[in-house]
Amino acid sequence: MAKVNGATLMARSLKQQGVEYMFGIVGFPVQPIAAAAQEAGIRYIGMRNEQSASYAAQAVGYLTGRPGAALVVSGPGVVHGLAGLANAQQNCWPMILIGGASATYQNGMGAFQEERQVQIASPFCKFAHAVEHVHRVPFYVEMATRYSIYGRPGATYLDMPDDIILGEVDEEKVHQAATVADPPRMQALDADVEQALNVLESAERPLVIVGKGMAWSRAEDEVRKFIERTQVPFLASPMGKGVMDDSHPLSVGAARSHALQEADVIVLLGARLNWIMHFGLPPRFNRNVRIVQVDIAPEAISQNVPAEVGLVGDGRAIVGQMNKALANRQWFYPKDTPWHAAIAEKSAANAKQIKPMADDDSHPMNYYRAFKDISAWLPQNAVIIGEGANTMDIGRTQMPNKEARVRLDAGSYGTMGIGMGFTIAAAVVHPDRPTVSVSGDSAIGFSGMEIETACRYNLPVKIVVLNNGGIGGGVGPLPDDKTKIPPRALIWGARYDKMMEAFGGRGWHVEDPTKLRGVLDEAMAFKGPALVNVLLNPEAGRKPQKFGWHTS
């Protein structure tokens, strides 16, 4: 009778569940799983740190709708992978972490890299389990897949002990599992949809907030129809950007603070009132703001601010319901209102404030000058990854998106180090699109060795490092007394471009802003991985803010 081992069953089961990409680092005991994955037709990408592997796996999940897999060795490999689990949990992105484990018959004996892996993974996972019999591998992979994408998406963990990976069973004895269908799309009650529209109709200063939940549910057509039909101004969350075209006239992006502060009714579409949205509380929000909330998770309704109407279910299905219900109504938000006028006025004032900085050709340059050329250079269909503090926050306002699911950044967990994993994931999922990462010089350091990964697979990623010599700004030349180096300082002008060249890609270093565009064009024309290191003034900062981004 034909026999099959655990590694092969794992690979076949993942493939059956629509898992097309695996990121990992091999070693004891997972090498056979990586080999079997390639054999089964899964694209395997060998990474340099398990953090990046698990960041890449979740980006694949978000971009494709099926979880990506991360494969890590026992003990320290799993511990590194936890960073990705935590990030996936906060972002609500699906992934499956597969941790090798020491053999079950050595449990508790102090085996090589022995760790209580299911226990440490559990707090960050929707489902975490050890596989205890070879024939049950497909059962657990089905469960891990289903939990990762059904309901609120998130991370799952499977523990694969050495003796399960190498153990064999008769093919006939394998517990076959069904293929997980795409998630069912739950709808809201029609009466609640009507109530939501009643609240919206009663608004004087309505605002729609579009979150990445809409991108996840592929609701872009429905959301676009909803905004066009209602004519309500909208604000995108950092990764909800592109569900609506950022350049749409109803976007309040450039008047964010004002819109949040003054809106009297907010329709939250797949976005949470967490720190990114200042918890929905004063002084950043109107004290009496009324909330209509669409979310896939019932327990998310009314988080931080009680929702007047909660619509629980799939974003695309529910916005579609709202569009249908709107067919029976005459109402739309009028074009000539003081609310539109106030938003337009704030946007214009914002643009006026930025213009002199964007036009400033002195060097070292400031952020807005760098972003002027970067955004003019960005191809419209690019996947854009942003990472850093100022680099990411300013980049969010200065690099527009036209499409859904093409903006990835530090996200709900504010994680530095995601950039290279996300960039590599985007490049393998979307070989047809340019992948551009704009990273701070601190941010690039967290996973910088993945530059070798990008070069090894010859992924044509374009990385721009905004080099201000520090975390949120540096000090320029460092003091001779090294004990006096400020904690935020890095080497100003460090040549990250040479890291790229060291591994076979191409790098450029730019100090003169008038040279920046030409260099960016050269980098784009180059067929392989490229890094453009842009020297910024260490003192450059954001335009003066009424409130800081990171504080409430």
Ligand X SMILES: Cc1ncc(C[n+]2csc(CCOP(=O)(O)OP(=O)(O)O)c2C)c(N)n1
Query: Using CB under 6 A as the criterion, which residues of the chain lie in contact with ligand X when the complex forms?
Result: 388-391, 414-417, 440-443, 466, 468, 470-473
Measured from the CB atom, the residue of 270 and 470 that comes closer to ligand X is 470
Measured from the CB atom, the residue of 5 and 415 that comes closer to ligand X is 415
**Which of ligand X, Mg ion, none has residue 310 at its interface (CB below 5 to 8 Å by kind)?**
none
Instruction: Kindly tell me which residue out of 153, 440, 448, 538 binds Mg ion, with binding defined by CB under 5 A.
Output: 440
Q: What torsion do the CA atoms of 37, 40, 43, 47 make, to the nearest 10 degrees?
A: 10
* CA 71/CA 54 separation, integer angstroms: 8
Please name the residue ranges forming H helices in 430-535. 441-446, 450-456, 496-502, 513-525
**Which of ligand X, Mg ion, none has residue 397 at its interface (CB below 5 to 8 Å by kind)?**
none
Smallest distance from the beta carbon of 293 to Mg ion, in angstroms? 36
* CA 125/CA 120 separation, integer angstroms: 10
Measured from the CB atom, the residue of 108 and 548 that comes closer to ligand X is 548
* Angle, vertex CA 528, rays to CA 526 and CA 531, nearest 5: 80
The structure tokens listed for 269 are 């579409």
Smallest distance from the beta carbon of 410 to ligand X, in angstroms? 6
Structural element, H or E, at residue 369: helix 367-377
* CA 417/CA 414 separation, integer angstroms: 10
Q: Which residue is nearest to ligand X (CB)?
A: 440
Smallest distance from the beta carbon of 363 to ligand X, in angstroms? 17
Residue 541, number of CB atoms within 10 A of its CB: 16
Smallest distance from the beta carbon of 193 to ligand X, in angstroms? 39
Smallest distance from the beta carbon of 388 to ligand X, in angstroms? 3
Measured from the CB atom, the residue of 111 and 394 that comes closer to Mg ion is 394
Measured from the CB atom, the residue of 373 and 441 that comes closer to Mg ion is 441
Please name the residue ranges forming H helices in 28-104. 31-39, 50-64, 76-91
What residues contact residue 143 under an 8 Å CB cut-off, 6+ apart?
Answer: 127, 129, 156
Smallest distance from the beta carbon of 434 to Mg ion, in angstroms? 24
Smallest distance from the beta carbon of 544 to ligand X, in angstroms? 16
Does 468 bind Mg ion (CB under 5 A)? Our answer is yes
Does 314 bind Mg ion (CB under 5 A)? Our answer is no
Measured from the CB atom, the residue of 81 and 440 that comes closer to Mg ion is 440
Measured from the CB atom, the residue of 145 and 468 that comes closer to ligand X is 468
The structure tokens listed for 35 are 């080999």
Please name the residue ranges forming H helices in 155-294. 162-166, 190-201, 212-216, 220-230, 256-262
Structural element, H or E, at residue 11: helix 6-16
**Which of ligand X, Mg ion, none has residue 443 at its interface (CB below 5 to 8 Å by kind)?**
ligand X
Q: Which residue is nearest to Mg ion (CB)?
A: 440
Smallest distance from the beta carbon of 446 to ligand X, in angstroms? 6
The structure tokens listed for 235 are 């604000």
Stretch that binds Mg ion, among 208-216, 246-254, 343-351, 442-450 (CB under 5 A): 442-450
Measured from the CB atom, the residue of 81 and 470 that comes closer to ligand X is 470
Structural element, H or E, at residue 370: helix 367-377
Smallest distance from the beta carbon of 472 to ligand X, in angstroms? 4
* CA 369/CA 461 separation, integer angstroms: 22
Smallest distance from the beta carbon of 495 to ligand X, in angstroms? 15
Measured from the CB atom, the residue of 156 and 468 that comes closer to ligand X is 468
Does 441 bind Mg ion (CB under 5 A)? Our answer is yes
Measured from the CB atom, the residue of 140 and 371 that comes closer to ligand X is 371
Asked if 91 contacts 412 with a C-beta cutoff of 8 angstroms, the reply is yes
**Which of ligand X, Mg ion, none has residue 520 at its interface (CB below 5 to 8 Å by kind)?**
none
Written as one string, the DSSP assignment of 505-523 is: SEEEEE--HHHHHHHHHHH
Residue 503, number of CB atoms within 10 A of its CB: 15
**Which of ligand X, Mg ion, none has residue 415 at its interface (CB below 5 to 8 Å by kind)?**
ligand X
- What are the Cα distances from residue 516, in Å, to 23, 363, 451, 501, 536? 34, 11, 22, 19, 12
The structure tokens listed for 199 are 């609240």
CA 268 to chain centre: 19
Smallest distance from the beta carbon of 133 to ligand X, in angstroms? 38
Stretch that binds Mg ion, among 57-65, 144-152, 314-322, 432-440 (CB under 5 A): 432-440
Stretch that binds Mg ion, among 190-198, 253-261, 345-353, 435-443 (CB under 5 A): 435-443
Stretch that binds Mg ion, among 106-114, 308-316, 419-427, 434-442 (CB under 5 A): 434-442
Binding site for Mg ion (CB under 5 A): 440-442, 468
